[in-house]
Amino acid sequence: MTRERLAKVRKYRMQSKSAPTNAIADFPSDYHVTRIPTEDFLVLPKVSSERRPYIPVGWLSPPIIPSDLLQVIEKARMEHFSVLVSSLHMGWM
């Protein structure tokens, strides 16, 4: 099952019109964009529902690899977190 999936990823990447995607076709198990923080980091979703009273914001730690569906703030401090979860920020959003 895994080999079949990797073969499909390789084929997909080889057929892409993107040069960077073609360049990594021989490495189908590698991420296209690798962003692996080395210390705790703050995450926000790139998309969230307008019906939520607050945007879900959270702290994550390595070895978690954030997906491209998240905005990552490395070297964030508690002050950043406080502003992002505040009702003032939610009103601005």
Report the candidate in 15, 9, 48, 49 with the shortest Cα–Cα distance to residue 30. 9
Report which of residues 32 and 84 the model is more confident about. Answer: 84
State pLDDT tens for residues 8-19: 999 999 999 999
pLDDT at 2: 92
Can you tell me whether residue 41 is helix, strand or coil?
strand
Count of Cβ atoms closer than 10 Å to residue 21 Cβ: 14
Tell me: pLDDT of 85 over 80. Answer: yes
Tell me: pLDDT of 93 over 90. Answer: no
State pLDDT tens for residues 25-72: 999 988 877 778 999 999 999 998 888 888 899 999 999 988 889 999
Count of Cβ atoms closer than 10 Å to residue 13 Cβ: 19
